[in-house]
Amino acid sequence: MRWFHVSVCNVVVVVAMLILGALPFSSHAQLDPSFYKNTCANVHSIVRGVVRNVSKSDPRMLGSLMRLHFHDCFVQGCDGSILLNSTSSIVSEQGAAPNNNSIRGLDVVNQIKTAVENACPGVVSCADILALAAEISSVLAGGPNWKVPLGRRDSLTANLTLANQKLPAPTFNLTQLISTFANQTLNITDLVALSGAHTIGRAQCRFFSSRLYNFSSSGNPDPSLNTTYLQTLRSICPNGGPGNTLTNLDLTTPDTFDNKYFSNLQSLNGLLQSDQELFSTSGASTVSIVNSFSSNQTLFFEAFKASMIKMGNIGVLTGSQGEIRTQCNFVNGNSSGLATFATRVEGEEGVTITSV
């Protein structure tokens, strides 16, 4: 693998892209970090208290909450639809292939919602709770903080079909990844920055085992995978073994939010195919961004902040749209006919972003 060198020009281009990417969309001008200043001024500290307490016994939860926000935003926008259980009128997104036995943190979101409702009943949306929990998770893991634009409202529907269609898969190649993000108005810098959330969290063997034994139906391992790392992963995930066995997304500092994810890619130690594609695709424009983020953690953090804010603006409901759910798992006045999604055994990260 050829090593690429970071130039001043590359860094300038990346920074320019970040500035453009951070500009707010005028259609979402209603979102404001001070939205709850007069109605629930302590909402950030309430959310932080619950997330911090949970993460003490389950540090994986930080990555899981970031991933939950991502999986929400890519389906109908950031509207809390992923939280809805199945009822007589709703088919939950939680049963979609990228989410089933994989997403975690639903119970934690419910804990947060209960705490927030006790302090500020009927005020804070579940969609905003997801956005706040993602930012707080970043900070608690050692990553960047940002002022979360707030004022989202919750959807009245979920969309299982879109959840199966819109979320990027761990087996996606770079072309598929770029297209999937472009469909959400996210550019290549956003793709690389948000992928960096895989600096924390875990993935199940079922999401990458084909890379180890039968890449692209070749009967051989993925040639872009470091051979030493390949043997390590095969010992964790034997051929035909349990698909739900977990391994770290970042083999260097798995519970610390830093830029080591990118140096792992440079060493061909990306766990998911969709991770390694960012660096190993010949001539890809993502390579220079990976190199820039690997050499400059501050640059990565600034990019991540901008991309998270940008992602958090996707398809938001504001004003009189949607509602403020009393319970995050159900639309108001309809908590009957529930399925078993609320008590499912939750797995761990495995789809493209997030650990984030």
Convert the pLDDT of each residue in 65-88 to its tens digit. Answer: 999 999 999 999 999 999 999 999
Helix (H) or strand (E) holding 202: strand 202-204
Q: 295: domain range?
A: 8-343
The stretch 294-320 carries a mean pLDDT of: 98
The stretch 97-119 carries a mean pLDDT of: 96
Asked if residue 99 belongs to a domain, the reply is: yes
Domain count, the chain: 1
**Does position 14 have pLDDT exceeding 50, yes or no?**
no
Q: What percent of the chain has pLDDT over 90?
A: 83
DSSP at 230: H
Distance CA 290, CA 287 (A): 5
How many Cα atoms sit within 13 Å of 100 on the Cβ side?
A: 8
The stretch 173-193 carries a mean pLDDT of: 97
Confidence of residue 334 (pLDDT cuts 50, 70, 90): confident
Asked if residue 41 belongs to a domain, the reply is: yes
Asked if residue 64 belongs to a domain, the reply is: yes
Asked if residue 44 belongs to a domain, the reply is: yes
Confidence of residue 22 (pLDDT cuts 50, 70, 90): very low
Q: What is the CATH number of the domain that holds 339?
A: 1.10.420.10
pLDDT at 335: 56
User: What integer best gives the mean pLDDT of the chain?
Assistant: 88
Confidence of residue 232 (pLDDT cuts 50, 70, 90): very high
Catalytic residue, chosen from 28, 69, 71, 198, is 71
Confidence of residue 347 (pLDDT cuts 50, 70, 90): very low
What lies within 8 Å, CB to CB, of 48 at 6+ separation is: 136, 140
Asked if residue 349 belongs to a domain, the reply is: no
Concerning whether 69 is annotated as a catalytic residue, the answer is no
Least confident of 40-44, 301-305, 348-352: 348-352
pLDDT at 158: 97
Asked if residue 352 belongs to a domain, the reply is: no
List the one residue out of 267, 196, 177, 281 whose CA is nearest residue 230: 267
Helix (H) or strand (E) holding 137: helix 126-140
Q: Reduced to 3 DSSP states, what percent helix, strand and coil does the chain have, rounded to the nearest 5? A: 50, 5, 45
**Does position 250 have pLDDT exceeding 60, yes or no?**
yes
Asked if residue 145 belongs to a domain, the reply is: yes
Asked if residue 129 belongs to a domain, the reply is: yes
